[in-house]
Amino acid sequence: MSFEIQELPDVIKILALLELQDKKKAKKEKLKEKLDHICGPDTCIDVTDFEEALTEITEEGLVTVDDGGIVELTRSGVLLSGEWENLFVGAEPILETVTGLTDGSITGLVVVISSHLASLDTTHTIFATLLTLASVALTNFSSFFLGGKTEDLSDMISLQRIINFSLDDIPDRGERERSLRLVSRLFRMFRKDLNTSNLKAAMVSGATTFLAGIIPIALYIYLPDPIDLFVSLGFVAVVVGVFLVRYRSKKTRVLWRVTLAETVIIIFIAVVASLILGQGP
């Protein structure tokens, strides 16, 4: 399947894959009805266009159609439809998770080390914890909700312009207008999903930040001395070394040793800088 959308059946193929993404299969008639609903009252998908698009994605091994008219995504179809969904609405919270784990780990380390060096009592440590973690988590929440929405809208507008530019080359005026109308409805539908997507991203980032920071601090507060410090730092090492590094390595397809070195260096610099700045004049 070509990434470039050049004609009406290409638009219908993308739309069909996205519609099948949730339940992985649907009756052919129901799928056609959903596409007609997206297109609106001025139906721009006729039976011929739909059948042509369905035949193409079947030949490409993205879907199968049984004798009962059930259209089902293949393994390749599931992967490709997921990639298209990520492209439109960023369905997979990669950046949010990495940011939450990183910021939470740094915050937890700074609070634990600062509390240990300053010999703070439990009350002051809890106060510093709640104040610091709440501010970092809320900052991440607002950044991903407001900044993420703005960035996603900008990316979506750029993507729509690229697709429209490609569809402008369709020689048949009627097909060209139907293709552009369908793309316009498609992006309008995804714009409505952006609020939900960005709210989820903000919640994931805020919650991950808070949990990654509160757990090592709680271990430091409630465990007896001297194992409190070692267990707390050990927990952060596990989070950074296993979850964060493994997650980044898997998503970026970079050797885990390289990812580990990058992550450790960044967190070390951030923690040292925070401790130096926290000492004041």
Q: Domains plus CATH for the chain?
A: 8-83 (1.10.10.10), 90-146+195-279 (no CATH)
pLDDT for position 4: 61
DSSP symbols for 57-99? HHHTTSEEE-TT-EEEE-HHHHHHHHHHHHHHH--S-HHHHHH
Verify cis geometry, omega within 30 degrees of 0, for the bond prior to 226: yes
pTM: 0.65
Closest CA to 148 of 107, 203, 188: 203
User: Is-contact 36 47, C-beta < 8 A?
Assistant: no
- Give the lowest-confidence range in 49-53, 112-116, 184-188, 212-216: 184-188
- Determine phi and psi for 8, rounding to 5 degrees: -55, -45
Residue 71 · residue 54 · CB < 8 Å: yes
Q: How confident is the model at residue 91 (pLDDT cuts 50, 70, 90)?
A: low
> Is the pLDDT reported for residue 277 higher than 70?
no
- Average pLDDT of the chain, as a whole number: 79
Return the DSSP state at 224: P
25-34, 167-176, 228-237: least confident range:
167-176
What pLDDT is recorded for position 182?
77
In this prediction, residues 245-257 reach a mean pLDDT of 75
pLDDT in tens, 144-191: 887 777 777 777 777 778 777 777 777 877 777 777 777 777 777 777
**Per-residue confidence (pLDDT) for residue 37, from 0 to 100:** 77
What distance in Å separates the CA atoms of residue 77 and residue 54, rounded to the nearest whole number? 12
* Structure confidence at residue 89 (pLDDT): 66
pLDDT above 70 covers what percent of the chain? 91
Q: State residue 68's pLDDT score.
A: 82
pLDDT number for residue 44? 63
Residue 92's pLDDT is 60
What pLDDT score was predicted for residue 163? 77
pLDDT at 244: 73
pLDDT tens digits for 41-87?
A: 665 677 888 888 888 888 888 888 888 888 888 888 888 888 777 77
**Predicted pLDDT at 279:** 59
What is the pLDDT at residue 274? 67
Helix (H) or strand (E) holding 218: helix 173-222
